Amino acid sequence: MPLIENTVVELLAVQASGKASALDIADEFLAAIRERDPKVRAFMHVNEASVREQAAAVDAKRKAGAKLGALAGVPIAVKDVLCTKGVPTTCSSKMLQGFVPPYDADSVERLKAADAVLIGKTNMDEFAMGSSTENSAYQTTANPWDLSRIPGGSSGGSAAAVAACEAAASLGTDTGGSIRQPAALCGIVGIKPTYGRVSRYGLIAFASSLDQVGPFTHDVTDAALMMEVLAGHDSRDSTSVDRPVPAYTKTLNDPVKNLRIGVPKEFFDDGLDGEVGNAVRAALKEYEKQGATLVDVSLPYGTKYAVAVYYIVATAEASSNLARFDGMHYGHRTSAKTDLIGTYSKSRGEGFGPEVQRRIMLGTYALSSGYKDAYYLKALKVRRLILNEFNDAFAKCDVIMGPTSPTPAFKAGEKSDNPLAMYLSDIYTISCNLAGIAGMSLPCGFTKSNLPIGLQLLSPAFDEERMLRIARMYEAATGWHTRRAVILGGSD
Annotated catalytic, 431? no
**Span 380-424, pLDDT tens digits:** 999 999 999 999 999 999 999 999 999 999 999 999 888 878 888
Backbone dihedral region for residue 24 (phi beyond 0: left; psi -120 to 50: alpha; all else: beta): alpha
H or E element, residue 286: helix 274-289
Catalytic status, residue 154: yes
Which tens digit of pLDDT belongs to each residue from 25-58?
A: 999 999 999 999 999 999 999 999 999 999 999 9
Torsion sign, CA atoms 357, 360, 363, 368: negative
Domain count, the chain: 1
Mean per-residue pLDDT over the chain, rounded: 96
pLDDT at 487: 52
Instruction: Please check whether residue 219 lies inside any domain of the structure.
Output: yes
In this predicted structure, what is the pLDDT of residue 329? 86
Q: Is the pLDDT assigned to residue 84 strictly greater than 50? A: yes
Residue at 196 is within a domain:
yes
Instruction: Domain of residue 244: give its range.
Output: 3-260
In a domain, 214, yes or no: yes
Single out the catalytic residue among 92, 107, 132, 178: 178
CA distances from 189 to 134, 192, 339, 347 (A): 22, 10, 50, 39
Nearest Cα to Cα of residue 452 among 232, 32, 164: 164
Q: What pLDDT does residue 490 have?
A: 39
Catalytic position from the list 21, 79, 132, 347: 79
d(CA 330, CA 141): 27
Does residue 178 carry a catalytic annotation? yes
Whole-prediction pTM value?
0.96
What would the mean pLDDT of 126-151 be, rounded to a whole number? 97
Q: Which residue has the higher pLDDT, 338 or 259?
A: 259
Stretch 451-456: mean pLDDT, rounded? 98
Does residue 347 sit within a domain?
no
Q: What is the pLDDT of residue 206?
A: 97
What pLDDT, on a 0 to 100 scale, did the predictor assign at position 489? 39
Number of other residues whose CB lies within 10 A of the CB of residue 1? 10
The mean pLDDT value for 431-445 works out to: 98
Q: Which whole number is the average pLDDT over 135-155?
A: 97
Has residue 469 been placed in a domain?
no
The answer as to whether 9 is a domain residue is yes
- Alpha-carbon torsion 421, 308, 316, 231, what sign? negative
Q: What is the CATH number of the domain that holds 148?
A: 3.90.1300.10
| Residue 61 banded pLDDT, cuts 50, 70, 90 | very high
Q: Among 131, 132, 154, 459, which one carries the catalytic annotation?
A: 154
Give a yes or no: residue 365 inside a domain: no
Does 78 fall in a domain?
Answer: yes
State mean pLDDT over 139-152: 97
Interval 156-187: pLDDT, tens: 999 999 999 999 999 999 999 999 999 999 99
Q: How far apart are the first and last CA of the chain?
A: 11
